[in-house]
Structure 1
Amino acid sequence: MKQHDPDPPPPPPGGILWDTAGDIRSLLALPAAFVLQVAHPAVGAGVDDHSVFRTDPWGRGQRSLTSVLLWVYGGEVAAEEGRRLRSLHRTIQGTDPDGRRYHALTPAYYAWVHATGYPVARYARRYFARPFTPAEDEQFYAEWLMVGRILGIHDRDMPQTTEEFWPYYRKVLAQEVGRNAVVDELTARDRAVPAPDHFVLRLLWPALRPALTRAMAFLSVGLLPPEAREAIGLPWTPRQERRLRRFAVLVRLLAPRLPERLRYLPMARRARLRGRSAP
């Protein structure tokens, strides 16, 4: 993108992402999206070498979530956040375990990280909300492309329709994606996660950590689309599927009944309020 080009617009108020990105249910799919991202060897190597997901998972998670929300609800700040992320990724480079060079801004790798959000969010929605109609699905993907432009992803590097997306997705799953050390770490039931920086939680952490890591591992695998689980080589049993469906029933019953101040994350709630108040 040339320096003098106008900033790409964020997804529109009232659109699919405006209604879904800040909904607390979207948090449930984030671990699975991260696993699908790092299953690409270049992305996994970059995260392994440069990310603080081991030493500061809470800070990293908060910063990542804030960034995602800015893409959708940030207005003029959305493009600024996209530029910040590209600048941050310019120094992320190295060699993967097979000796291949990687750079975070290589178009194919950068686009894959963004692309994974679409199939994971779409699949998770089948559990936790009403599935998209075909028209809504097209709109959701079109808005996801808008987010990609904010991140500096050129249209030539991303499939431009859902019809074009699925062959691209299946090709990456078949030829690139696989299990690696970062995937195994993120899906481990006994993953070592440091305590949050909160006095009470630190005291309770020895009791809370096992339940939290089991839940994160469960959602990380269960909310991957089946074809992605198969490509990565992650097992998933019928018993686990039944557990996920039982949990999903509770979410579908409870989440829509929450007041907006509890159902939406603060940035999303404020943006939606401003949108309703605008003349």
Structure 2
Amino acid sequence: MTAALETTQRDLPDRNQIGPGTRMWDETGLVTFSLTAGSAFLLQTMEPTISAVVDAHSTFRTDPMGRAMRSISSVMMWVYGGDEALAEADRLRAMHASLNTTDAAGVKHKALASGPWAWVLHTGTFAFTENARYFARRPLTTAEKEAYYRETVQLMRNFSVAPKEIPEDFAAFEAYFTDMVDNHLEATGTARDYLRVIRSVAPPKQLPRALAPVWRAAIAPVGRLQYFVTVGTTPEPARRKLGLTWSEADERKLRALGWMIARLVPLLPERVRYFPIAYEARRLERDRARLRKMIDLRPL
């Protein structure tokens, strides 16, 4: 391990905003973020404590669209929320403090238990690198993964993840992640329910009942795509545990889809390419930079 990597955690402030100039700032807000968010949530629901808490408290079965939109908006706040980013992390911790449950075997589960709380953010790290592997023009290099992981360490500090749950560098993260998938994740009922839900997404609660058939017909292709991408970007050992099949033909199809998306998305206007919060934050930052330039160039 190099000296630079050894300082990955030591030289970071305890809590600090994620801002312009970071890979998170440039890429988390892209609409393609949602493509691998599914595999991240699937991996979360395979962790026994998260599965038990989600099973008892989440609305992903009854309000899947609402839950998805709330989750995406929250993630956008982590990176683009400015002064409110840390407040959003605190809000989520406060909200999860009471989300505890006891499973059928009598085992007690707490949402803020250090391992499960960290696993939520670690699945995001995996999903980000998988997104680059399939839906960007090229996968991340080793150096880029290390630089990105440094940003995720800062994010985990913002969420008060216990230091013992934060691997030292990206190589250590990969070893940790592999061990979690191979030896700790389980084929939970919650994970199976999630796969069923994304394959056939229920109408939003506010949609009139008479329009439900129209919704189901319109959303069916989107559900099939999300299910396909979720299964394809889930690690093979996790797929085996869930009894999911993935053929070489499926892999070729996913890579062809990724090739097309990687070339089409950059051509879209920024307002379409980014989620709303991300777009507005990036636009505001450019306005601030222009103002700063005008102030610096003013006659004295």
Q: TM-score, normalised by structure 2?
A: 0.84
List alignment gaps of at least 5 residues for structure 1: 1-5
Question: What SS is found at the alignment partner of 1:116?
Answer: helix
Hey, what's the Cα distance between the residues in 2 that align with 1:218 and 1:107?
Answer: 31
Matched, 1:71 2:95: no
**Alpha-carbon displacement from aligned partner over 1:154-210 (angstroms, at most 9, x marks no partner):** 323211311221221122122210211121122238855321234696451231343
Number of aligned residue pairs: give it.
Answer: 274
Structure 2 match to 1:155: 163
- Greater displacement, 193-202 / 22-31: 193-202
Mark the CA change 1:183 to 1:128 in structure 2 (over 3 Å): closer, same or farther. same
Hey, what's the Cα distance between the residues in 1 that align with 2:185 and 2:245?
Answer: 15
- Greater displacement, 189-198 / 36-45: 189-198
Alignment counterpart, residue 244 of structure 1, candidates 243, 250, 254: 254
Structure 2 match to 1:139: 147
Hey, what's the Cα distance between the residues in 2 that align with 1:157 and 1:93?
Answer: 20
Question: What SS is found at the alignment partner of 1:239?
Answer: helix
Query: Is this contact kept in 1: 2:65–2:201, CA < 8 A?
Result: no
Cα displacement (A) at 1:235 = 2.1
Aligned counterparts, 1:140-219, within 5 A = 140-188=148-196, 191=199, 193-196=201-204, 197-198=206-207, 202=212, 204-219=214-229
Query: Is this contact kept in 2: 1:22–1:69, CA < 8 A?
Result: yes
Hey, what's the Cα distance between the residues in 2 that align with 1:203 and 1:171?
Answer: 44
Matched, 1:23 2:33: no
Mark the CA change 1:230 to 1:124 in structure 2 (over 3 Å): closer, same or farther. farther
Hey, what's the Cα distance between the residues in 2 that align with 1:116 and 1:250?
Answer: 25
Structure 1 match to 2:230: 220
Question: What SS is found at the alignment partner of 2:82?
Answer: coil
**Alpha-carbon displacement from aligned partner over 1:115-143 (angstroms, at most 9, x marks no partner):** 11111220121111021122221111111
Hey, what's the Cα distance between the residues in 1 that align with 2:87 and 2:232?
Answer: 34
Query: Is this contact kept in 1: 2:80–2:278, CA < 8 A?
Result: yes
Hey, what's the Cα distance between the residues in 2 that align with 1:269 and 1:189?
Answer: 29
Cα displacement (A) at 1:225 = 3.1
Query: Is this contact kept in 1: 2:60–2:194, CA < 8 A?
Result: no
Hey, what's the Cα distance between the residues in 2 that align with 1:263 and 1:153?
Answer: 31
Query: Is this contact kept in 2: 1:177–1:232, CA < 8 A?
Result: no
- Greater displacement, 236-245 / 84-93: 236-245
1:42 alignment partner AA: T
Hey, what's the Cα distance between the residues in 2 that align with 1:201 and 1:142?
Answer: 47
Hey, what's the Cα distance between the residues in 2 that align with 1:23 and 1:139?
Answer: 19
Question: What SS is found at the alignment partner of 1:119?
Answer: helix
Query: Is this contact kept in 2: 1:22–1:268, CA < 8 A?
Result: yes
Question: What SS is found at the alignment partner of 2:196?
Answer: coil
Rg larger for: 2
Structure 1 match to 2:274: 264
Question: What SS is found at the alignment partner of 2:191?
Answer: helix
Hey, what's the Cα distance between the residues in 2 that align with 1:108 and 1:205?
Answer: 39
Query: Is this contact kept in 1: 2:64–2:197, CA < 8 A?
Result: no
